[in-house]
Amino acid sequence: MAARSASSATMKTARIHGVGEVRLHTEPVPLPAPGEELLRITAVGLCGSDLHWYSEGTIGDARLTRPLVLGHEFAGLTAAGRLVAVDPSIPCHRCEYCEAGHPNLCASQRFAGHDQTDGGLCQQFCWPSRYLFPLPPAFNALDGAMLEPLGVALHAVDLGHLRPGMRVGVFGCGPIGLLVLQVARAAGAADLLVTEPLPHRRAVAEQFGGVPWEGQPVDVAFECAGFPGAIDDAFNAARPGGKVILVGIPADDRTAFNASSARRKGLTIKLARRMKHTYPRAIRLVEQGLVNVRGLVTHRYPLEDITTAFSVAQRREGLKVVVEPT
């Protein structure tokens, strides 16, 4: 990505330099290119993928090659004062995957907070107008930042092809799992079974209708943790002919399961990759009260406390940690 021009004004950014090392910088405010808007960033959620960067300096097969501004769950104010949510993915719109309606699979996409594209952990940020979604008056910045993980949950549930009356399992009830749980409920799932080792997260899952899984077979199993235990539970729970949707990102870039059992049951296995233009649907779900996103935010920090924010998120002390740069 070519370097942006910049104004003489300055702002604060938070860049990750290596494992466990996030530093504040003073940098020029970028100038928007044609078709872009300059945003004042108001809320940035720390995602599990951000924690991979922080804890390991990698995510999957991607490696940290330069000091990077993380953050892809965020909202901000336009120059006109309009609160918007930011879709962090810019696909090429020209490849066969984009043309087939799968922009999340585009190999040329730019993604905020990944590779050579800086993300939202800064005070001001430029992004194309077509990827900014104006929010209803009742929304605040926290709601806007939470629309990206809600979009991931929507895409995962879409992959499961849920129908009313199905029995669904959610294995791992961090923020993504809790959003999958709520979307599955909105899609008509009759039974919502969950596993989660952390008591405070398990309690929230139960508030959203989740019942502890005790071996019951499920039509669709959503693995939302990336940990071996959750993966094993998802494959064990899926009924013959059922589906397993892998949403979690494993730390060592490998996912293992018992092949003979999965084959014997004839399971359909799908891996979720980000989302597909889900912001309009996500906004409607929150606006109509079908999904609670604001209640998942348990910790809020200014940009100056970015190291504390990452440490709290890494320890999984609550649910969603949000940084408020301005």
Segment 68-92, tens digit of pLDDT = 999 999 999 999 999 999 999 999 9
How far apart CA 130 and CA 133 sit, in angstroms, is 8
Q: Give residue 1's pLDDT band: very low, low, confident or very high (50, 70, 90).
A: very low
Q: Are 242 and 210 part of one and the same domain?
A: yes
**Lowest model confidence (mean pLDDT) among 57-71, 160-174, 279-293:** 57-71
Secondary element (H or E) of residue 268: strand 268-271
Q: Are 105 and 195 part of one and the same domain?
A: no
Q: What is the CATH number of the domain that holds 169?
A: 3.40.50.720
pTM of the model: 0.96
Do 169 and 231 contact (CB within 8 A), yes or no? no
1 in a structural domain:
no
Q: In 3-state terms, what secondary structure has residue 274?
A: coil
Q: Are 167 and 57 part of one and the same domain?
A: no
Interstrand relation of 218-223 and 167-171 (parallel, antiparallel or unpaired): parallel
Query: Is the per-residue pLDDT at 4 higher than 80?
Result: no
306 in a structural domain:
yes
Q: What is the pLDDT of residue 194?
A: 98
Segment 271-288 shows an average pLDDT of: 97
Do 84 and 40 contact (CB within 8 A), yes or no? no
How far apart CA 64 and CA 62 sit, in angstroms, is 7
Q: Are 78 and 165 part of one and the same domain?
A: no
Q: What is the pLDDT of residue 85?
A: 98
Query: Is the per-residue pLDDT at 204 higher than 60?
Result: yes
Segment 225-238 shows an average pLDDT of: 97
Parent domain of 37: 6-134+293-324
Q: Are 55 and 99 part of one and the same domain?
A: yes
Query: Is the per-residue pLDDT at 285 higher than 60?
Result: yes
Q: Are 130 and 18 part of one and the same domain?
A: yes
Query: Is the per-residue pLDDT at 220 higher than 70?
Result: yes
144 in a structural domain:
no
The mean predicted confidence, pLDDT, of the chain is: 96
Do 238 and 217 contact (CB within 8 A), yes or no? yes
Segment 129-156 shows an average pLDDT of: 98
Q: What is the pLDDT of residue 7?
A: 73
Q: Are 123 and 161 part of one and the same domain?
A: no
Query: Is the per-residue pLDDT at 2 higher than 60?
Result: no
212 in a structural domain:
yes
**Lowest model confidence (mean pLDDT) among 40-49, 53-62, 169-178, 268-277:** 53-62
242 in a structural domain:
yes
Q: Are 213 and 106 part of one and the same domain?
A: no
Domains: count for the chain: 2
44 in a structural domain:
yes
Q: What is the pLDDT of residue 12?
A: 98
Q: What is the CATH number of the domain that holds 18?
A: 3.90.180.10
Q: What is the pLDDT of residue 5?
A: 66
Q: Are 236 and 319 part of one and the same domain?
A: no
146 in a structural domain:
no
286 in a structural domain:
no
